[in-house]
Chains A and B, each alone.
Chain A
């Protein structure tokens, strides 16, 4: 059975829960944003492991 009568204490608990949720979502957003920025600043990445890369062959010759 749910608690029907709410007390001032429940408001305080709620503020804690909502606050923590906001902090966690904010943290996810920041880590995601940092990841995007870091990957972009690396520049073009050749991620094709099993593909022939002609420039490597040319340099070797």
Chain B
């Protein structure tokens, strides 16, 4: 008697494959900025409620990442940077990714509502909708400004953290939004400059593809110049302080110099040193964002201890 079973190892994912659907690295940025938005808000929140709220914001962000991986599996399969993601590599089916995305979205929004308030939950729902539908399904394949408007999705977490405590919006939370919103285009365009062939192959209308690399360099400089006042303005709100002001001045000066150096170069120069300036700018842009939000946290701590 034979008892042979055909086992398809294609669709036998392990737990980590599902976790990878939630884009853990993007989630770390979401957790950090949402946490800062929550801690600088002018009211106390019970630590356990705060912890739960951050968790649900992170799950919501992860759910939108899963929806993005479901919709974009065809693009991800072509690009070297994303080809190993769970769906294009065949470890998780597209249908599973979509189901997990929808289920976790609803779950995260309802739980954030129960843990904090309706306004924060509605903002989280809008963020998921914005990232999964407006950015992923609509703008990404349609306009070279995809990054600019899609960046709004990444800019909402500190506003949600703030709203979880206060139940509303304010100048401070909108400036935190503006900081991430204006930071996203130079950050991604620097990546697009040195990850050249990827977006071409996938036919995603990145600015580098549609308007050329010279235009992209101009745009990086323009957005970095516009970013600086938004970042500095935050220093003069009630959540700003001496640490933030010092960090913002230093980081923006550095960022502006980097953008200027990118702007001055042409493709021959960039290829000669294998995009060293662009890569350094991209790496620094991550420190830039963590630096600003870390400084906000430091000022909040100083205020708590009565030192400022």
A interface residues, Cβ below 8 angstroms from B: 7-9, 11-13, 15-16, 18-20, 30, 33-34, 37, 41
Contact = CB atoms under 8 A, between A and B. Distances in A.
Contact of A16 (B14, B46, B48, B49): B14
A9 B115 CA distance: 38
Contacts of A7: 7
Nearest to A33: B48
B114 interface: yes
Interface string B10-44: 00111110110000000000000000000000000
The majority secondary structure among interface residues of chain B is helix
B9 A16 contact: no
9 contacts: A7-B7, A9-B7, A11-B14, A13-B12, A18-B15, A19-B19, A33-B48, A34-B115, A37-B49
Interface string B233-249: 00000000000000000
B12 A9 contact: yes
Interface of B: 7, 9, 12-16, 18-19, 46, 48-49, 52, 55, 114-115
B15 A19 contact: yes
A37 B114 CA distance: 12
B52 A16 contact: no
Given A16-B14, A20-B15, A30-B55, A9 B9 contact: yes
A33 B50 CA distance: 12
A18 to B, nearest CB: 7
B215 to A, nearest CB: 46
A25 B114 CA distance: 19
Contact of A19 (B7, B18, B49, B115): B18
Q: Which 6 A-B pairs have the closest CB atoms?
A: A19-B15, A12-B14, A15-B14, A15-B15, A16-B15, A9-B12
A37 B14 CA distance: 35
Given A9-B12, A33-B52, A37-B48, 4 more contacts: A11-B14, A15-B14, A16-B18, A19-B15
Contacts of B115: 34
A9 B48 CA distance: 38
Nearest to A17: B15
Nearest to A16: B15
Which of B7, B15, B49, B52 has the largest number of chain A CB atoms within 10 A?
A: B15
